[in-house]
Structure 1
Amino acid sequence: MRVPVVQHSSRRRLARRRRVWWTGGEVLVTVGVVLLLLVVQQLWWTNREARRGAERKVEALEREWGDGETDGGGGGGSATSAPSAPSAPYSSSSSSERDGGAGAAAGSGAQRATAARQSRPDWSQAYAILTIPRLGLRVPVAEGVSKQDVLNKGYVGHYRGTEQPGQAGNFALAGHRNTHGEPFRYINRLRAKDVVRVETRTATYTYAVDKTLPQTAARDSGVIRPIPRSIVKPGYGYSRPGYYLTLTTCTPEYTSRYRLVVWGKLVSMRPRA
């Protein structure tokens, strides 16, 4: 019987190949573990930390304003609607009704004064609380839409240059849909007449959801104008002055290519005692 002869050089080549394959496998496993940890960090840890921070900020604002003065995100049945007499720029009560109860929300001089008393918040300062009962959401509102200083903390950011809550025009907000607390993840579930409340040091403003723009370009600045109307999809939006609320976030989920927009109209305002 003939015995095959294996040269030492062949053995060395086989050993080198095994080492290369083994090293390559170790590298791939290491890379996979690192990527998995990054995914966990983004999808779980950032949410956990941002939500805890946002909850602490809400509690701090409530303590600052006085615990007895907040409505705790409840049904809000004790809030009283403002008188229905319209104020400028409305010429009749019917026009104010068509444009979201703006006249109702700002009918009295005392209420207009309450809204006007709001000073411009400092950059990145949390100064209000947004409550959406349908989503079980209660988060701080901070000035500006900086990712590092506002959105990544789990806060909702106020577009600087848009109006403050209760003021004529458009109170426009942005929030993450995924990661970092993802406060606006489910705003696509909001339906017409759903309640959205904004609490400040001086008053609680109640808006009713009115319209949704499912998808538009990230550059669509028309949705946060004083009279919000999409410049990409002009069929979505408004044509008359009013007291509007705009919520914006990224869409589809886990991307930032497009924007989802929800609009609401002011229906009542309750000053703090």
Structure 2
Amino acid sequence: MSRYRGQSIALLTQHGKERVIAPALEPALDCRVQLVTGYDTDQLGTFTRDKPRPGTQLEAARRKARVGMTLSGLPVGLASEGSFAADPWTGMFAWNVEMVVLLDDRLGLEVVGMAQGAARSAQLQTADWAALEQYAQQQGFPEHQLVLRPEGPDDPRLDKGLADWAALRASFERCRAEAANGQVYAENDLRAHANPTRMQRIAEATRDLLQRLQTACPACDAPGYGLVGREPGLPCRDCGSPTQIYRAEVLQCPACQHREVRPRSDRQFADAAQCAHCNP
């Protein structure tokens, strides 16, 4: 039986995240995701840099969840937080990491679901409407909304949530007229409701959270048991030296901290091409 059967769970969001979080959790956990409003989550940080996010991504998610619990008076709360950077392999492509955090004061738990993947997050600085049109099409506009501002990436005079061509053209003309350098800076609107690619990543992180909540700790039976890390050291097939390829997964309970190192079962050796000794 689900530990969350009949439980209302607070979700603080103003960007429509309940549309992907509630359908994943409610039927599986027999719970009710209660949308909490009346708080401007942009005060906790924005992707457009007008309000810097203090602390880490996880700390921001915790703060959101805690605010939702306080406003609703519920002992269990949810929140999600995203981050964007270059991909971890080549550093050439936009990459999105999403966390969905559940805080449970009844059980003293914090459970985190995660997902990551390629992002719709690109920028353009131009004075040419045709160039902006091409950029917008490449970024999936208007389904993926855009942000424009005059001059450059740090100008505070920004238009968010541009979602149709007429609004985009009007904003472009305004920004170009206001810019001392005649340039307009464009970027993806990374808020969840404005970026379907990011919303899909939040759905994936929610499914990861659900899997953890449905996995009980073998030591204390608390929900949330799951992967917390990987240990490198898979031996090279040719020389046997340890490589940076992971050899084992580390699972841990968020309640009692029971920990298990589970050797990977899909492969026993790393290719020589991945070995620093054979392929320096």
TM-score (norm 2): 0.24
TM-score (norm 1): 0.25
Higher helix content, 1 or 2? 1
Q: Larger RCO: Structure 1 or Structure 2 (Cα < 8 Å, ≥ 6 residues apart)?
A: 1
